C-alpha cells in the first residue's frame, strides 16, 4: 500500500503518477473551476449595461462591483483551482489553474493576489502557451488599472513570441483594447483589422465591429465606419446592437451625402416600427445631432425636445439629451438661462459614475455663477437705457411694456380655455356626459387634463402668474418684481410688477391697478445720480466677474477678451485695470502681437504691481527656477518641522509671484496641505476643490482627488 501511495505522489516524475495527477487535476478540480468561471463570465456579460452614447470597450471591463453578483461562483473557482496547486503539483494543469486563479481574483478586485498568480506562471510555467496566456491576462490587468506603460511593455515582449491561433487572437484584442483606452484609435482599428479574420461569427464579434465603427467615426472615416456597422448585422447581433448600428449607419449616410435629408433617410421607418417604441428617444436624439450638423438649429432643438419627451425610463439617455440641448442653447442660441436649466436637469438624473458627471457638475457650477453675473449686466444695461430717456418717453415705454405683458397674458389664457373646452368635449364623448366618468368609472380630478387646465385658468385669473414659493398668499407680500423675465439684455429686461389680482379682460390704462404697476416699474429705474452710480458699480463688477468666468471656468478666451475690453472701454478708471491687463495678456495665447501689447501696457502703467512681476515670471521662468526651488525647499522645511502657520503665511505671500511657472502647482499643493493643518477640514476641502479648478492638467490631480474623497468620508463621519 505504501508503494502505491509513493508511486502516486504529486512530486513523483514516474509516468503512472503523472498520468494519475493529470486526470485527477483535470476532472476533479480544473474542469469544475473552468465551468464556474464560464458561468460567472456569462452572468456578468448578461448583467453588463452597454452605453451606446459612449465608445464601447473592445473587452468588457473587469468590474469588481459587477462581479459581486457572481462572487460565490468565482470563490468556488478559486477553491477548485487551488486544489490543483495544493495536491497535483506534477500535473500539466498547474499553469492553467494558476491562470484561472489569477483571473478570478482580478474579477473580485483582489489585484495584488491576481497579479502575483499570473507572474508566477510567467516565472515558473512549464508550457510556453500557458506563459503567454498569463502575460496576455496580465496586460489586460494593467490596462484596467490604467498602467499603460507596463501594459505596453508586456505587449512588446509578446509581439516577439510565437503565439498559437487562440493566443494570437486574444493578444490582438487585448492590444487593440490597450490603444483604444489610451485614445490611440488609429492604432487600435489597425490591429482590429488584422484580428477580424481570426474571429468567428458571434454576438461578441458583432460588438467588436461596432466598437471599430465608433472609432472610425471619431477619426472622421465615416465610409469605413459604415462598412463595420454593416458587418454588425452579419454577426448575430442582439436587438439593441443591431438597432444602434443601423441608426449610426443612417447618420453617416447623411454626413457623407449632404443631399440626403434627415427626415427621409430612413429614421421615419425606425420611428414607425413598434419594436422601437422604447428606443424612439435615441432616434430623435440622432436626428437632432444631424440637424445641428447641417446648421438647422431650430430643427435640432425640436428633435432633441422630442427625444426628451419620448424617454421611457432611460434616464441616462435623457441626461445626454439635456446635455446636448444645454450646449446648443449656450453655443448657438446664447440663451444662457435655458442652458443652465438644461444642465440642472441633466445633473439631476446623470449617474455619478458616468464619465461626464464631474465635467457636467463643474460646468453647471460655472454656469450658475455666469448666469447670475450676466443677469446683473443685462438688467443694469436695460435700466440705464430707460434712465437716459426723457420723462415722457419713459412713461410711454413703461405703458408699452405693461400693454405687451397684458396682451401676452390674455392670449395664454384664451389658449388654455380652448384647450380646456377641447378636452372636456373629448371627455364627454368617452364618459357618457360626465367629464369625471370614463367607461362608467369616476376619475380622480388630477388625472383629467380638462379639469387641470380649468384649475390653472381659475388660479391665474384670481392670483396672476405666481412663482412656486412659500407664503405666496400672504396679503402683506409686495407685488413681485418681474425683472429680467424677458430675453437678457433686451430693452424690456427691467423691473415690472404684476398686480396681485389682474382683471379678467386685462389691466386698463388710467385705472389704479395700472398706475400701481407703472409706479413699481418706475421705482426700479436709476433716475437719481446716486442710483445710477450704484447701478454702474454693479455692472462694472459683474462684467469683470464675467470675464474671469469665461477665462478660467468656461475656457473661452475670445469671450473673456471681449468682456475685459468692454470693462476698459466703459470704465477707463476701473479699479481692476492692472489685473485686467494681466488677464488680457494671458487670454491672447494665439495672438502674439496683442499679447505683447498688453504686456507693454501693464509694465509701463503699473511697473511695480504684482501682475507686472507675474508677467516677467511667465515669460522668463528659466532664470527663476533655481530661486523657486530654494524657496520651495525652505517652505517645505517649515512644514516638515511643524511650523505650519509661518509656512502658510510665506506660501500665500509668495505664490502669486510663481503664477505661470512650472512650479506653481507644486507650491499650490503644499498650500493645500498647510491649510489642512492650520484651518481645519472644511477649509481643507475648499482648498482641494480650488486646486482642482485652477490646475486641471496638474500631475498632482489624481492625488488631490484621493484626498478629496478621504476628506469627504471623514467629514461625513464627524
d(CA 11, CA 24): 14
Of 4-18, 44-58, 204-218, 646-660, which has the strongest mean pLDDT? 204-218
pLDDT at position 262 is 77
Mean pLDDT of the 465-481 span: 49
Q: Pick 459 or 281 by higher pLDDT.
A: 281
Q: Which of 83-87, 213-217, 567-571, 680-684 has the lowest mean pLDDT?
A: 83-87
694, pLDDT greater than 90: no
In the 8-state DSSP scheme, what is residue 63? -
**Is the Cβ–Cβ distance between 661 and 624 less than 8 Å?**
yes
669, pLDDT greater than 80: yes
pLDDT at position 214 is 93
Which candidate, 41, 63, 53, places its Cα nearest to that of 144? 63
461, pLDDT greater than 60: no
Q: Give the 3-state secondary structure of 627-675.
A: HHHHHHHHHHHHHHCCCHHHHHHHHHHHHHHHCCCCCHHHHHHHHHHHH
Q: Give tens-digit pLDDT for 178-192.
A: 999 988 999 999 999
Q: Give tens-digit pLDDT for 359-395.
A: 888 888 888 888 888 889 988 988 888 888 888 888 8
The whole model's pTM is what?
0.62
d(CA 284, CA 298): 14
pLDDT at position 471 is 52
Mapping DSSP to helix (H, G, I), strand (E, B) and coil, where does residue 442 land? strand
Q: Provide the CA 330 distance to its chain's centre, in angstroms.
A: 16
501, pLDDT greater than 50: no
pLDDT at position 6 is 44
**Is the Cβ–Cβ distance between 602 and 576 less than 8 Å?**
no
Encode 228-256: b = buried (16+ Cβ within 10 Å), e = exposed.
Answer: bbebbeebebeeebbbbbbbbbbbbbbbe
Tell me the pLDDT of the chain averaged across its residues: 78
| Ramachandran class of 350: left when φ > 0, alpha when ψ lies in -120 to 50, beta otherwise | beta
Q: Which residue has the cell 505661470?
A: 660
pLDDT at position 18 is 53
205, pLDDT greater than 90: yes
Give the length of the chain.
Answer: 718
DSSP state string for 191-254: HHHHHGGGPPSSHHHHHHHHHHHHHHHHTT-HHHHHHHHHHHTTS---HHHHHHHHHHHHHHHH
3, pLDDT greater than 70: no
Q: Which of 210-224, 467-481, 526-540 has the lowest mean pLDDT?
A: 467-481
648, pLDDT greater than 80: yes
DSSP state string for 601-614: HHHHH-TTSHHHHH
> Residue 529: pLDDT band by 50, 70, 90 thresholds?
confident
475, pLDDT greater than 50: no
208, pLDDT greater than 90: yes
**Is the Cβ–Cβ distance between 514 and 403 less than 8 Å?**
no
Q: Which of 59-68, 216-225, 245-254, 458-467 has the lowest mean pLDDT?
A: 458-467
Q: What angle do CA 684, 685, 691 make, to 5 degrees?
A: 90
All structural domains of the chain: 261-355 (1.25.40), 391-466+478-526 (no CATH), 531-619 (1.25.40.10), 624-717 (1.25.40.10)
pLDDT at position 228 is 93
Those residues whose C-beta lies under 8 Å from the C-beta of residue 152, and which sit 6 or more positions away, are: 178
pLDDT at position 514 is 84
477, pLDDT greater than 60: no
Q: Which of 73-77, 157-161, 200-204 has the lowest mean pLDDT?
A: 73-77
Which triple of cell numbers denotes residue 45?
Answer: 456579460
> Residue 210: pLDDT band by 50, 70, 90 thresholds?
very high
Name the strand (E) or helix (H) holding 437: strand 437-438
pLDDT at position 215 is 94
Those residues whose C-beta lies under 8 Å from the C-beta of residue 460, and which sit 6 or more positions away, are: 409, 413
> Residue 493: pLDDT band by 50, 70, 90 thresholds?
very low
482, pLDDT greater than 50: no
> Residue 714: pLDDT band by 50, 70, 90 thresholds?
low
Which triple of cell numbers denotes residue 426?
Answer: 373629448
> Residue 481: pLDDT band by 50, 70, 90 thresholds?
very low
pLDDT at position 643 is 84
d(CA 593, CA 499): 56
> Residue 224: pLDDT band by 50, 70, 90 thresholds?
very high
Q: Give tens-digit pLDDT for 132-178.
A: 888 999 999 999 888 888 888 889 888 888 888 888 999 999 999 99
Radius of gyration of the chain (CA): 34
Q: Provide the CA 489 distance to its chain's centre, in angstroms.
A: 30
pLDDT at position 443 is 42
**Is the Cβ–Cβ distance between 178 and 152 less than 8 Å?**
yes
**Is the Cβ–Cβ distance between 496 and 402 less than 8 Å?**
yes
pLDDT at position 469 is 56
Mean pLDDT of the 612-621 span: 63
Of 165-174, 345-354, 510-519, 608-617, which has the strongest mean pLDDT? 165-174
**Is the Cβ–Cβ distance between 101 and 85 less than 8 Å?**
yes
Phi and psi, residue 437, nearest 5°: -120, 130
Mapping DSSP to helix (H, G, I), strand (E, B) and coil, where does residue 55 land? coil
pLDDT at position 169 is 92
Q: Provide the CA 201 distance to its chain's centre, in angstroms.
A: 35
CA distances from 218 to 231, 300, 464 (A): 18, 21, 51
Which triple of cell numbers denotes residue 123?
Answer: 516565472
595, pLDDT greater than 50: yes
Encode 358-396: b = buried (16+ Cβ within 10 Å), e = exposed.
Answer: eebebbbebbeebbebbbbbbbbbbbbebbeeeeeebee
Q: Give tens-digit pLDDT for 399-427.
A: 888 888 888 888 888 888 888 787 777 66
Phi and psi, residue 438, nearest 5°: -135, 120
Amino acid at each position: 500500500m505504501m508503494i502505491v501511495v509513493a508511486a502516486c505522489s504529486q512530486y513523483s516524475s514516474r509516468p503512472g503518477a503523472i498520468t494519475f495527477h493529470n486526470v485527477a487535476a483535470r476532472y476533479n478540480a480544473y474542469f469544475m473551476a473552468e465551468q464556474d468561471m464560464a458561468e460567472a463570465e456569462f452572468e456578468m456579460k448578461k448583467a453588463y449595461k452597454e452605453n451606446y452614447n459612449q465608445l464601447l470597450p473592445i473587452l468588457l471591463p473587469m468590474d469588481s462591483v459587477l462581479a459581486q453578483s457572481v462572487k460565490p461562483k468565482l470563490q468556488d473557482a478559486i477553491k477548485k483551482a487551488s486544489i490543483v496547486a495544493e495536491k497535483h503539483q506534477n500535473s500539466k494543469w498547474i499553469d492553467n489553474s494558476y491562470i484561472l486563479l489569477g483571473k478570478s481574483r482580478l474579477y473580485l478586485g483582489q489585484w495584488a493576489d491576481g497579479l502575483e498568480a499570473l507572474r508566477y506562471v510567467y516565472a515558473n510555467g512549464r508550457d510556453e502557451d500557458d506563459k503567454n496566456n498569463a502575460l496576455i491576462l496580465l496586460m489586460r490587468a494593467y490596462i484596467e488599472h490604467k498602467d499603460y506603460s507596463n501594459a505596453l511593455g508586456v505587449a512588446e515582449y509578446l509581439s516577439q513570441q510565437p503565439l498559437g491561433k487562440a493566443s494570437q487572437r486574444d493578444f490582438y484584442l487585448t492590444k487593440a483594447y490597450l490603444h483604444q483606452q489610451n485614445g490611440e484609435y488609429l492604432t487600435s482599428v489597425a490591429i482590429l483589422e488584422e484580428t477580424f479574420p481570426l474571429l468567428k461569427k458571434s454576438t461578441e464579434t458583432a460588438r467588436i465591429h461596432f466598437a471599430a465603427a465608433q472609432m472610425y467615426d471619431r477619426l472622421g472615416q465615416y465610409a469605413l465606419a459604415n462598412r463595420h456597422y454593416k458587418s454588425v448585422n452579419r454577426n448575430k447581433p442582439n436587438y439593441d446592437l443591431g438597432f444602434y448600428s443601423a441608426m449610426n449607419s443612417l447618420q453617416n449616410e447623411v454626413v457623407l451625402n449632404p443631399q440626403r435629408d434627415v427626415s427621409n433617410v430612413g429614421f421615419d421607418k425606425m420611428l414607425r416600427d413598434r419594436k422601437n417604441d422604447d428606443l424612439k428617444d435615441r432616434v430623435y436624439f440622432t436626428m437632432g445631432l444631424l440637424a445641428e450638423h447641417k446648421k438647422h438649429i431650430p430643427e435640432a432643438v425640436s428633435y432633441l425636445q422630442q427625444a426628451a419627451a419620448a424617454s421611457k425610463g432611460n434616464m441616462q439617455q435623457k441626461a445626454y439629451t439635456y446635455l446636448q440641448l444645454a450646449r446648443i442653447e449656450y453655443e448657438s442660441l446664447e440663451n444662457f438661462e435655458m442652458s443652465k436649466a438644461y444642465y440642472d436637469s441633466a445633473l439631476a438624473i446623470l449617474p455619478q459614475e458616468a464619465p461626464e458627471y464631474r465635467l457636467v457638475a463643474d460646468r453647471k457650477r460655472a454656469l450658475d455663477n455666469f448666469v447670475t453675473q450676466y443677469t446683473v449686466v443685462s438688467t443694469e444695461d436695460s435700466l440705464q437705457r430707460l434712465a437716459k430717456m426723457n420723462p415722457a418717453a419713459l412713461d410711454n415705454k413703461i405703458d408699452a411694456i405693461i400693454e405687451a405683458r397684458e396682451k401676452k397674458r390674455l392670449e395664454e389664457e384664451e389658449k388654455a380655455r380652448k384647450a380646456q373646452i377641447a378636452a372636456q368635449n373629448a371627455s364627454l364623448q368617452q364618459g357618457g356626459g360626465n367629464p369625471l366618468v370614463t367607461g362608467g368609472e369616476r376619475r380622480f380630478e388630477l388625472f383629467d387634463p380638462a379639469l387641470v387646465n380649468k384649475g390653472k385658468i381659475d388660479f391665474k385669473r384670481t392670483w396672476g402668474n405666481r412663482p412656486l414659493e412659500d407664503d405666496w398668499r400672504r396679503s402683506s407680500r409686495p407685488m413681485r418684481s418681474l425683472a429680467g423675465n424677458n430675453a437678457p439684455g433686451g430693452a424690456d429686461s427691467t423691473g415690472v410688477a404684476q398686480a396681485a389680482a389682474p382683471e379678467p379682460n386685462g389691466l386698463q390704462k388710467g385705472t389704479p391697478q395700472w398706475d400701481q404697476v407703472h409706479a413699481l416699474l418706475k421705482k426700479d429705474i436709476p433716475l437719481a445720480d446716486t442710483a445710477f452710480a450704484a447701478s454702474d458699480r454693479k455692472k462694472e463688477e459683474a462684467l469683470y466677474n464675467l470675464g474671469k468666468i469665461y477665462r478660467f471656468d468656461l475656457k473661452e478666451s475670445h469671450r473673456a477678451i471681449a468682456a475685459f475690453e468692454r470693462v476698459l472701454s466703459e470704465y477707463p478708471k476701473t479699479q481692476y485695470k492692472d489685473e485686467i491687463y494681466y488677464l488680457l495678456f494671458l487670454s491672447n495665447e494665439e495672438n502674439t502681437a496683442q499679447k505683447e501689447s498688453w504686456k507693454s501696457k501693464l509694465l509701463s502703467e503699473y511697473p511695480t504691481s504684482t501682475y507686472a512681476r507675474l508677467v516677467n515670471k511667465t515669460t522668463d521662468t528659466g532664470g527663476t527656477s533655481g530661486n523657486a526651488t530654494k524657496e520651495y525647499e525652505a517652505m517645505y522645511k517649515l512644514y516638515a518641522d511643524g511650523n505650519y502657520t509661518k509656512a502658510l503665511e510665506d506660501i500665500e505671500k509668495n505664490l502669486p509671484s510663481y503664477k505661470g511657472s512650472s512650479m506653481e502647482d507644486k507650491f499650490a499643493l503644499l498650500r493645500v496641505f498647510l491649510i489642512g493643518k492650520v484651518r481645519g477640514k472644511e477649509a481643507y476641502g475648499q482648498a482641494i476643490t480650488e486646486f482642482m479648478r485652477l490646475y486641471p492638467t496638474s500631475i498632482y490631480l489624481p492625488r488631490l482627488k484621493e484626498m478629496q474623497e478621504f476628506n469627504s468620508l471623514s467629514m461625513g463621519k464627524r
